[in-house]
Amino acid sequence: MADIQLITPENWAEYELIDSGNFQKLERFGEFILARPEPQAVWDKSLSDEEWERRAHATFRRDRQSPERGDWQTSPDMRDPWYVSFRQRGLNLKFKLALTTFKHVGIFPEQANNWSYIHDKIKALSANVSRPKVLNLFAYTGGASLAARQAGADVTHVDAVKPVISWARENMDHSELDNIRWVVEDAVKFVQREVRRGNRYNGIILDPPAYGRGPDGEKWVLEEQLNDLLKSCADLLDQNDFFFIINLYSLGFSSLILDNLMGQVFGNVPNPEWGELFMPDSFQKRLPLGVFYRFAS
C-alpha cells in the first residue's frame, strides 16, 4: 500500500503564493497580484492588511446576498484579461486569465504537478500506443487537456458549461495546439454513453466539483454520484496501457475516503500515488488545495 503524499508543483516563474491566512490568499499570476477568499487558510496572515492592500492589483469581495458570487476591486493598472505561460518538463502552454464573479481566474496552479505527470505518462504510453486516447472530465479551461495534447494524445475534453469550453479553446489556440475534441455535456451522461459504445481510453482525468449542473439541468452532487461515476470510468479505462487521475476540492472529502473508493473500484492498481496537493506561501505555510489519487501502468 502506498503511503500518503504531499505534492506541490515545481517552481513556476509566473505563479507565486505570496501569503495566506484569515481565510484569504495573496497570489501573483504573471505581473499581477490578486487577493482572493480561501476557506482552508484558517491561520493568521504573515503580512499586514495594509501590505496586502498595497500589493494587490485586484481584490475579490463576496456579495452579501450570495455565498459564491462577488466582484473585484481593481487598481487602475490591472488588465483583464491577461496571459501567463507554463514552461516545464517538455510543456510550453499559454493561458488566458480573467477576473470572474466566482473568484476563479481560469487556472488552478496546484494542478501544475498533474500536468507534468500527464505529459510524462503519455510519453511513456507512446512506446506501445501510437496515439493514446485521453478523456478529461469536468475539464474547465483545459490545463490538463493542453498538457495531454502537447504530449501527443488524442484528447476529448468534456465540460457542461459552454463558455468554459470556449475559454479552453482559446487556451488551445494560444498554446499553438489543435484537434482537441470539445464536448458540451453532462459528464455522467457522456461516460455512460461511452461505456455502452464499448469505447476505451488510455488516460482518464477527473476534477469534479462538489456541486454542479449539466447543460440540461442535470444535478451533480459529489458524495452521491462519485462512486457510480468511478465504476463507469473503470469500464472505460484500457486494461493494458493506462493512467488515471482524480482531484477533489471538497472540505468533506479526505484522501482516506478517496483511497478507499479507488481501492474498491479499481483494485490493486500499479504505481499508486495519493494524498494532498498543497502550495507553500513565501512564509512556508502550506496551504492544502485538494486531495488526489493517480496511478499508471
pLDDT mean across residues, the chain: 95
Q: Name every residue whose Cβ is closer than 8 Å to that of residue 235 and which is 6 or more positions away in sequence.
A: 195
HEC assignment per residue over 143-208: HHHHHHHHCCCEEEEEECCHHHHHHHHHHHHHCCCCCCEEEECCHHHHHHHHHHHCCCECEEEECC
The string of pLDDT tens digits covering residues 221-275 is: 888 999 999 999 999 999 999 999 999 997 778 999 999 999 999 999 999 999 9
Domain map of the chain by residue range?
Answer: 106-296
pLDDT for 221 equals: 84
Q: Among residues of the chain, what percentage have pLDDT more than 90? A: 87
The string of pLDDT tens digits covering residues 11-67 is: 899 999 999 999 999 999 999 999 999 999 999 999 999 999 999 999 999 888 777
The string of pLDDT tens digits covering residues 61-72 is: 988 877 779 999
Average pLDDT of the residues in 131-155: 97
Cα(54)–Cα(87) distance, rounded to whole angstroms? 30
The string of pLDDT tens digits covering residues 185-205 is: 999 999 999 999 999 999 999
Q: Which CATH superfamily is domain 106-296 in?
A: Vaccinia Virus protein VP39 (3.40.50.150)
Cα(257)–Cα(89) distance, rounded to whole angstroms? 31
pLDDT for 79 equals: 97
List of long-range contacts for 264-268, beta carbons under 8 Å, 24+ apart: 265/227, 265/230, 265/231, 265/233, 265/234, 266/230, 266/234, 266/295
